[in-house]
Chain A
């Protein structure tokens, strides 16, 4: 009897704690959103920039038909998924790396550590925030594509699964890069230095027809995401397991570096 009530009570506490944790995560997501949209710079560069790019491309390539240069697709059919991929990189990898490096340097991360908010709660809040921004961005990019005559994608489930996994992987890489950056002033430069060549190499802006290059970039994180989105967006194929596996591997590497090297406290001056 005593054990039963004891167990019941424990079960109750566990459930209450669980509910408290969910509320905590939601609480954190809300305030991350607030902080993000209030910062004009981050809102513009991570959110508006990909939309601006797709509008420009739309205006440029509106009349283009299908061509072998774009793998039998129209230019915009090709660019909607690659720019969507770029928006995920921006809202997850770039944003997280820069925001975390800045917050650490300003002592804000240490301040967070001074509260009972557990580390997982903080990172879950960030992750959910990044996924949310990515999803809204992708929806906007698809809508702009539709305005320029790109047919809507058919494999939404595959797209959603790919987006969530990719967002998580690039968040992990963003945290990893933030762990390796020494000072916040250098963060945007380091982030762009890694990202910009990768975007070109992976065919985000121009399709790459060199097999050697594609094989190399296929092992790096950006091209697999392009491929994983091109299929369900424009080629009527479902989940691209091979590309997702490469992405997941990069996510795992990012997570490992993040767990081993992430610091909350600023470096002493």
Chain B
């Protein structure tokens, strides 16, 4: 739906094969991938603009890593069009050219144990035509004090930062991060987020997968929610799934001796004893409600008004293992 439209209408310039003056860093259209009888990716389309942080948000097993690995050139695709910086990652011949311009941080930590942090970064720097300064990258990921330590003596979180340093050292135009902060403590996550935001200010495009709502909310300029191999929504964290236009929810405990039918507005009763009133016009609704309560001398205990959170939208979109993802309410 929305996702497909974006891909279809985005200007894809075929006249510039190097892709340098393309507004889009990455285009995916109608991507399919099956593992035997299991369809892992079913018609995914989205576009990532240059310089933005784009998140693929979805539960485990939704197909995020498969999509990412196709974009990175690790997996072949069954159908669809993929364009990464003007290069088709499925084309083996241009693999080296593509890898000189992208940076990857894979889901699993994989660093050789016997080299020091500095040596590891310096070795990978040698693989790129125009690498970042080794000491600068090490400082950027916060490992300056561990630079001379052997990798095997690092903690899990430090190894992950080293992995991030390896993704950055080639000075990539586009950086892929597969669940970059899984297993981080809250402080380390915030530091990692700061690093990623810092990259955006330097003009690096970032595509990341995550199953953390707060991570998508904190980092992403735009995101696509993936469920059961499909894009079920695409947009900004504030507006996704019609979140910004969604009806506000007024919730409170039903006063003693009242039935829902006594209320002046239509209400739903939830299992927790709270009633919910959904409304597009919360100011007026609240006025009606509180006036009714004051007149009866009743108390609306636990009264709250809110918009659906990103988590609500996400759970609605990906609910029931993803099959109910289509039931998005139109606004």
Interface residues of A (CB under 8 A from B): 20, 23-24, 27, 31, 34-35, 38-39, 103, 106-108, 110-111, 113-118, 265
Contact B106 A24 (CB under 8 A): no
Contact B115 A35 (CB under 8 A): yes
Contact A116 B170 (CB under 8 A): yes
Q: How far is the CB of A12 from chain B (nearest CB, A)?
A: 15
A118 to B100, CA, bound (A): 11
Contacts of A117 in B (CB 8 A): 127
Q: Which of A20, A35, A38, A116 contacts B99 (CB 8 A)?
A: A116
A43 to B129, CA, bound (A): 32
Contact B96 A118 (CB under 8 A): yes
A115 to B95, CA, bound (A): 10
Contacts of B150 in A (CB 8 A): 38
Contact B119 A107 (CB under 8 A): no
Q: Which of B120-176 contact A (CB under 8 A)?
A: 123-124, 126-129, 150, 163, 166, 170
A-B contact pairs, 16 of them (CB 8 A): A24-B126, A34-B115, A34-B119, A35-B115, A103-B112, A107-B106, A107-B110, A111-B110, A111-B111, A113-B74, A114-B72, A114-B74, A115-B124, A116-B99, A116-B128, A118-B96
Q: Which of B104, B110, B126 counts the most A-chain CB atoms under 10 A from its CB?
A: B110
Contacts of A27 in B (CB 8 A): 123, 126
Q: How far is the CB of A232 from chain B (nearest CB, A)?
A: 36
Contacts of B78 in A (CB 8 A): none
Contacts of B104 in A (CB 8 A): 114
A24 to B109, CA, bound (A): 25
Q: Which of B72, B113, B127, B163 contacts A116 (CB 8 A)?
A: B127
A117 to B123, CA, bound (A): 11
- B91-112 near A? 1/0 per residue, CB < 8 Å: 0000010011000101011111
Contact A116 B100 (CB under 8 A): yes
Contacts of A23 in B (CB 8 A): 126
Contact B170 A35 (CB under 8 A): no
Given contacts A114-B72, A115-B170, A116-B170, contact A35 B112 (CB under 8 A): yes
Contacts of B212 in A (CB 8 A): none
A113 to B72, CA, bound (A): 10
Contact A31 B74 (CB under 8 A): no
A115 to B170, CA, bound (A): 9
A106 to B127, CA, bound (A): 21
Q: Is B114 an interface position by the 8 A CB rule?
A: yes
Given contacts A107-B106, A113-B74, contact A38 B170 (CB under 8 A): no
Q: Which of B100, B109, B123, B128 contacts A31 (CB 8 A)?
A: B123
Given contacts A24-B126, A114-B104, A265-B74, contact A35 B110 (CB under 8 A): no
A110 to B72, CA, bound (A): 12
The chain A residue sitting closest to B169, CB to CB, is: A115
Contacts of A39 in B (CB 8 A): 113-114
Contacts of A116 in B (CB 8 A): 96, 99-100, 127-129, 170
Q: How far is the CB of B139 from chain A (nearest CB, A)?
A: 21
Starting from the known contacts A106-B110, A116-B127, 7 additional A-B residue pairs (CB-CB under 8 Å) come to: A31-B115, A34-B115, A110-B74, A115-B170, A116-B99, A116-B129, A118-B96
Q: How far is the CB of B74 from chain A (nearest CB, A)?
A: 7
Given contacts A113-B74, A114-B104, A115-B124, contact A31 B119 (CB under 8 A): yes
Contacts of B112 in A (CB 8 A): 35, 103, 108
Q: Which of B99, B109, B111 contacts A114 (CB 8 A)?
A: B99
A75 to B74, CA, bound (A): 54
- B62-101 near A? 1/0 per residue, CB < 8 Å: 0000000000101000000000000000000000100110
Q: How far is the CB of B194 from chain A (nearest CB, A)?
A: 24
A73 to B296, CA, bound (A): 116
A38 to B114, CA, bound (A): 6
Q: How far is the CB of A260 from chain B (nearest CB, A)?
A: 16
The chain B residue sitting closest to A42, CB to CB, is: B114
Contact B127 A110 (CB under 8 A): no
A24 to B163, CA, bound (A): 21
Contacts of A108 in B (CB 8 A): 110-112
Q: Which of A39, A107, A113, A115 counts the most B-chain CB atoms under 10 A from its CB?
A: A115
A209 to B246, CA, bound (A): 90
The chain A residue sitting closest to B72, CB to CB, is: A114
Contacts of A115 in B (CB 8 A): 99, 124, 127-128, 166, 170
The chain A residue sitting closest to B75, CB to CB, is: A265
Contacts of B123 in A (CB 8 A): 27, 31
Q: Which of B113, B129, B166 contacts A111 (CB 8 A)?
A: B166
Q: How far is the CB of A139 from chain B (nearest CB, A)?
A: 25
The chain A residue sitting closest to B124, CB to CB, is: A115
The chain A residue sitting closest to B101, CB to CB, is: A116
Contacts of B108 in A (CB 8 A): 107
Q: How far is the CB of A7 from chain B (nearest CB, A)?
A: 22
Q: How far is the CB of B150 from chain A (nearest CB, A)?
A: 8
Contacts of B166 in A (CB 8 A): 111, 115
Given contacts A24-B126, A24-B127, contact A114 B115 (CB under 8 A): no
The chain A residue sitting closest to B166, CB to CB, is: A111
Q: How far is the CB of A203 from chain B (nearest CB, A)?
A: 36
Q: How far is the CB of B322 from chain A (nearest CB, A)?
A: 21
Q: How far is the CB of B169 from chain A (nearest CB, A)?
A: 9
Contacts of B119 in A (CB 8 A): 31, 34
